[in-house]
Amino acid sequence: MFTRRVAVVGTGYVGLTTGACLASLGHQVVCADIDTAKVERLRRGVVDIVEPGLSDLVTEQVSAGRLSFVVGATAGVSEAFPGSSGSGDLDAEIVFLCLPTPMGVGGVADLRAVEAVVEETRELLAAGTVVVNKSTVPVGTAGRTAELLDRADVAVVSNPEFLREGSAVHDFLNPDRIVVGCDTAEAAERVAALYARLGAPTVLTDAASAELMKYAANCFLAMKLSYVNAMAELCERVGADIGDVTEGIGYDRRIGQAFLSPGPGWGGSCLPKDTHALLQVADAADFEFRLLRATIDTNTRQRQRIVDKVRHAVTGRRTGSLTRVRLGLLGLTFKAGTDDLRDSPALAIAALLRQAGADLVGYDPALVAEPGNPDRPLVDEVEGVPLVNDPTEAAQGAEALVVLTEWPVFRTLDWVAMAGAMKQPIVVDTRNLLDPATLRRAGLTGYGLGRREA
């Protein structure tokens, strides 16, 4: 079997998945992270992100001797490639950078983590090493990384990652495509060969196209969601039903059924920062990307629209007051299937509701305590929203429940008991998740988005 020695720097959602999956493909992987406590937990077999299959895969690959964890990029490179001294050893292999690239000042991507690791490791890399950037980075980063490395004998490759949180392992092992961008064909082919066993279509291209491709994909998805949210609003105004409209258009293969559900606005650790970063890339290239700006503006407006909907549902008036109105929030993560709260639309809406004076209490199945598990303690508040361990506690005395994350378990809650605990029987379902007939039978009035019943 074709195997390589690989160092993965950054063991978050992307890095840990990359490390464990590459090990499962037979490669010898050392994962490095700056977070000592995280590395210590990983060494004990504790994966502290909610990601189906990841924990088992990590345990399996560690037992098989193909995966290990170290603190710091320097140790990662040294342990992955023992004997390398930066002086031309033949065992130089591949270093993946899976580092955070959060939104920086003015919306530009903050590349400090990537640059710090490049600085830290540049002299350790053996001749012939390939540095692969899996982080989402603006066009030109591969070139700047090469400048920073200042090593003619080390290639820089862009290999953007398209996995989704909540199905990261599945997505990594069953990708729609692999993208490898480099201005040197030999380095690109070495990276593409790592994935050969997956049998996925592979796009070999230049570094700039690979870097742009990741933003092009995420911004297209954001645009699709903003479009659906705008269409849901139009449905409400003209008496149409968004579920029927999206079902009808989704059968068109040019459109597809995916990403057609209205919601509280897109969020998470990728779409907000990536849309802003691409806008900055466009600005720097003197291109007025109006479509993208409108995509972002529509999303910002969507959050206020949800607050207005809650206000109207609870008070019966568009200008009614939410001061001291108790609201139970169901779901705080940015989507179901993950515990990730970064840039969650639920938290953005919670902040607006609090500004409007509401008293909030939240419940999220990914944030409940696991009795007897010290690695899953009780989270008692998130960004000022007190959390409870049970959905009926969130309903207790509430004047409305607001469903903000599409956790399937909410569908089968005991809605009669929920209604019995509430002060007012109102549910605002920003995900169109719940069955309106079930709510009606429980004596609740449900408000969805763009639904005929709304």
Ligand X SMILES: NC(=O)c1ccc[n+]([C@@H]2O[C@H](COP(=O)([O-])OP(=O)(O)OC[C@H]3O[C@@H](n4cnc5c(N)ncnc54)[C@H](O)[C@@H]3O)[C@@H](O)[C@H]2O)c1
- Dihedral pair phi/psi, residue 30, rounded to 5°: -115, 125
Smallest gap from residue 11 Cβ to ligand X (A): 5
Instruction: Report the alpha-carbon distance of residue 192 to residue 205 in Å, rounded.
Output: 11
Q: Is 286 left (phi over 0), alpha (psi -120 to 50) or beta?
A: left
428 near ligand X, rule: CB under 6 A: no
**Cβ neighbourhood burial of 127 (10 Å; 0-12, 13-18, 19+):** middle
Q: Is 216 in the site for ligand X (CB under 6 A)?
A: no
* 178 binds ligand X per the rule CB under 6 A: no
- Residue from 4, 6, 7, 12 in contact with ligand X (CB under 6 A): 12
Does the protein bind ligand X through residue 103 (CB under 6 A)?
A: no
Measured distance CA(434)–CA(391) in Å, rounded: 15
The count of chain residues that interact with ligand X, using the rule CB under 6 A, is: 27
Q: Where are the alpha helices (DSSP H) in 164-206?
A: 168-173, 185-194
Q: Which DSSP helix (H) or strand (E) runs through 158?
A: strand 155-158
Nearer to ligand X, 76 or 436 (CB): 76
- 155 vs 133: CA distance, rounded Å: 11
Query: Regarding beta strands 67-71 and 381-382, do their DSSP bridges make them parallel or antiparallel, or are they unpaired?
Result: unpaired
- What does residue 376 show for φ and ψ, rounded to 5 degrees? -125, 70
Tell which residue, 314, 317, 420, 294, has the closest CA to residue 358: 314
* CA dihedral of residues 387, 390, 392, 393 (deg, nearest 10): -40
The residue sitting closest to ligand X, measured at its beta carbon, is: 12
Q: Using CB under 6 A, which of 42, 70, 98, 404 touches ligand X?
A: 98
Nearest distance, CB of residue 395 and ligand X, angstroms: 32
Shorter beta-carbon distance to ligand X: residue 3 or 74: 74
Start-end of H helices in 316-362: 345-355
Q: Does 173 bind ligand X (CB under 6 A)?
A: no
- Number of helices and strands (H, E) in the chain? 16, 15
Q: Which of 113, 210, 314, 434 binds ligand X (CB under 6 A)?
A: 113
Q: How far is the CB of 404 from ligand X (least distance, A)?
A: 19
Kindly state the smallest distance separating residue 179's Cβ from ligand X, in Å.
Answer: 12
Q: By CB under 6 A, name the one of 4, 33, 345, 401 that touches ligand X.
A: 33
* Near ligand X by CB under 6 A: residue from 5, 8, 10, 358: 10
Choices 109-117, 221-229, 236-244, 406-414; region in contact with ligand X by CB under 6 A? 109-117
221 is a site residue for ligand X (CB under 6 A): no
If the CB atoms of residues 157 and 442 are measured against ligand X, the closer one turns out to be 157
In 61-100, where do the E strands start and end?
67-71, 94-97
Selected range binding ligand X among 29-37, 85-93, 238-246, 380-388, rule: CB under 6 A: 29-37
Which residues are annotated binding-site positions? 33, 38, 101, 136, 162-165, 214, 259-263, 267, 273, 335, 342
Interface residues with ligand X (CB under 6 A) are: 9-15, 32-35, 38, 73, 98-101, 113, 116-117, 135-136, 161, 163, 165, 269-270
